Chains A and B, each alone.
Chain A
Amino acid sequence: MNAVTTHRSAEEIGRTEVGPRPLPELGEQRAAADLSSVDTVLDNGLRVIAVRRSSVPVVELRLRIPFADPADTSVGSAHAARAEVLANTVLTGTATRTRVDIDTELALVGGELDAVVDPERLALSGNALVSGFDTLLDVLRDVLTGATHPADEVERERARLVERIRLARSQPNVIAREALQRHLYGDHPYAKEMPEADEVEVVTRDEVVALHAAAVLPRGSVLVVVGDVEPADAVRAVDGALGSWTGEGEAVALRPLPAVEGGDVAFVHRAGAVQSQIRLAGRGLDRTDPRYSALQIANLIFGGFFSSRLVENIREDKGYTYSARSHPEFTPGGAALMIDADTASEVTAAALLETRYELGRLSLVSPTEAEVDTARRYAIGSLLTATSSQGGLASFLVNLAGLGLGIEWFTGHPERLAGVTVEQVAEVALEFFAPSAFTGVVVGDADVLAPRLRALGGVALS
């Protein structure tokens, strides 16, 4: 390359007269400021968690309404389709506001509001300049208690949803996710994250309105407010705005899932794919389990951050992948451990072999003190950075609340992590990271993958 006419060699660049220098020690860590907060339940049954964080004049809001299919199986159930249309029309009109009114009023206070649904919950998330907090709450009240799901909006959103489902199902990660969920949970409603296009096409406005009346309920729901507001004032404002949101019964929580059991990996053919999706899953622990912190550290060591064994092996040593990771997924009544990697077709089987090797090694050979310490410090530090913004903290707290936990779990977690021993990590690793504890799917081109996967074994090729 002719960037300059003369330059040093790579070897010359890589050394100086002084030579290698010592890594500076860490300084004294200042504790995070105490967050003043209120965690209470309003008369209508809505749990409200309000936290003051005043770094910017903004308020963040996260509402979680349990929104599960009351049926035991997704087969023949229209719930997912109706819920999807509901989420896409809940912000499109009320008795007093049109879709454009809602957008305009929010925009003028620097605000936005968004609704998404999954098999577990309907989530309304938003924010605004703190001066517009009342407007944000009033719009929220209006859509919760008075959304009309206008017929023309239902019609348009239904048509658009069909197209968007098509778009989503063309993405390799979505194809892999759907295959994995079906493989793990079969017809359990948890596995149905996206309805079928033909189910959406037949959803009527009346069905959506009926679902809204029956299922958009304050009891069982939680609202998290984080921002430049006094928590008690925030709760008063929420009560004033949402006190009129009432309804019979309690929002529907998803029934517990069957635990993930190890077994063969299912193969999913995708013709012409130049890359494969490896998606493995095993059983995990929920955040309230006394062994959770040890499992969190074991997961980090395995594949939970960049300095993990999996990333160092299949990315930094062998170059099989750009992205590999493992992470917990909290599910109703439990948790799963997920392992994801996308690899070139030619090296997919080898990457799966190395992944199993790392699983076996972690479960059978105790990790070192240094590995545990690195993971522990990362867990504590990344909790601090991830929650150092209002939005990050609000999202973290609403997820905790969905598991029935509050801010004290968050503030107490660094201490729990500090107490984890190497022996405890080794113990949970043996049980939860055994290769035999995992199953999953591989999506890729069978022509390229089948001979090697067959040789490797443990993959069900049809």
Chain B
Amino acid sequence: MALPELHRFTLPNGLRVVLAPDSSAPVVGVSVHYDVGFRSEPEGRTGFAHLFEHLMFQGSESLEKLAHFRHVQSSGGTFNGSTHPDYTDYYQVLPSAALERALFLEADRMRAPKITEENLRNQIDVVKEEIRLNVLNRPYGGFPWILLPPVLFTTFPNAHNGYGDFVDLENATVDDCAAFFDAYYAPGNAVLTVAGDLDVERTKSLVDKHFGDVPARPVPARPSFAEDAPKGERRAEHTDKLAPMPALALGYRIPDPVTEVEGYLAYLVLAGVLTDGDGSRLQQRLVHGDAIVVDVGAGCGLFGPLEARDPDTFSVTAIHPPDVPVERVIAAVDEELLKLAEHGPTERELAKVTARWVSTMHREHDRLTSRTLGLGSAELLFGRAELLYELPEKLAAVTADAVAAAAKALRADARAVLIVKPADGGTE
């Protein structure tokens, strides 16, 4: 696959910039990734990184509250932001005539966001509604991304709830926000990505014009979040009063995607062999063969593959009828993993996974939002935006032996088992 050209430079204030021109449609994507996520939250402030993301939309020196939304949308654009374990991103996708405006908007809030008590209180309410919508009032809310980490991990950064507890959210102060911004939202702690219909030289000068005078600040040393893999099987049960059926999640540790990307990708292929498509091992066995689960899935990373640094998670999740014992589901997964560990996948299985990935990557690159965000997160986490374009080739190079080794490493005595029980035990 032809590699689109990438241009990369760093401003004197430390801001890293990636430009990815493509003139196939007159639209442009702009994103800023900050190197801080919910793993950096101190104890007593769960959910703070996400709450702060909301505040970054609430006005800056040049823009009143609500102005950011209006300027993006009246330019014909769309926007959003999201908080991950290791980073927080902000993006806009707009008709390319609005490129300079988008850069201005991102620069203004990087330079001088307006953080007020009124906006903080308002956004605490909004975030609480977001948590009610996505977790508290919904069956399987937070499954598995909030519920599995405390079983697999023991340290606070890795194990805590990234959406946050209401008490912690309510205790957040304006001064907490100021401290967080000063520490983590320095230009040297961020990556700016511009993709789509752009002229490289003009864009460089626009980036310099708008971001060049954001003052440099010290960038905090990033702590290691490493912790040992479980020494035995760790189990936990969670009662979900809204769930109509039991569910389970198996969580395993996987190689560091930064230092061992090839090893990591073997697990991505393994996930495809296990659950991608009707012919995959676990779909065949659990859904169509034994017919003991309603749905099954497997994958790297609780937010998707290559979306976090070490330590990252491989998970298998399933929802099953109450008359199927959870041990039966786990035993079937273990059997299929054992078969793969002993015999490896077939060449045909590998070819299927590879071809689907090539196609999936093409389709993701075709959506400007995912391309912009993918380039930005790859640059921030791995220092290599081009990793995005190299993935199909790297996945194609994963061998059957590597997949077998990955399956073998998913050991029952070093994993987390999360069991979700309906409040009434599940009724037929």
Contacts and interface: CB of A to CB of B under 8 A. Distances in A.
A23 B104 contact: yes
B362 A274 contact: no
B69 A8 contact: no
B115 A156 contact: no
Contacts of A156: 288, 291
A3 B184 contact: yes
A377 interface: yes
B341 interface: no
21 contacts: A3-B180, A4-B220, A16-B61, A20-B62, A21-B61, A24-B104, A107-B276, A110-B357, A111-B356, A111-B359, A156-B291, A167-B244, A171-B138, A275-B136, A307-B73, A316-B66, A316-B122, A323-B129, A342-B132, A385-B368, A390-B366
Interface string A326-348: 00000000000000001110000
A99 B362 CA distance: 26
Contact of A14 (B113, B279, B280): B113
B139 A171 contact: yes
B352 A381 contact: no
B277 A27 contact: no
Interface of A: 1-4, 7-10, 12-16, 18-33, 53-58, 91-92, 99-100, 102-104, 106-112, 127-129, 156, 159-160, 163-164, 166-167, 169-172, 272-275, 305-307, 312, 315-323, 342-344, 373-374, 377-378, 380-382, 384-385, 388-392
B367 A58 contact: no
B137 A172 contact: yes
B129 A274 contact: no
Interface stretch (B19-27, B144-152, B375-383, B407-415): B19-27
B392 to A, nearest CB: 10
B100 interface: yes
Contact of A103 (B22, B115, B279): B279
B130 interface: yes
B258 to A, nearest CB: 23
Interface in B347-394: 348, 351-353, 355-360, 362-363, 365-368
B197 A30 contact: yes
Shortest beta-carbon contacts, A-B, top 6: A381-B76, A319-B125, A110-B359, A107-B352, A3-B183, A374-B74
Contacts of B244: 166-167, 169-170
B99 A27 contact: yes
Contacts of A100: 278-279, 284
A391 B116 CA distance: 41
B362 A57 contact: yes
B299 to A, nearest CB: 17
A29 B26 contact: yes
Contact of A10 (B175, B358, B360, B366): B175
Given A3-B183, A14-B112, A23 B74 contact: no
Nearest to B348: A104
Contacts of B220: 3-4
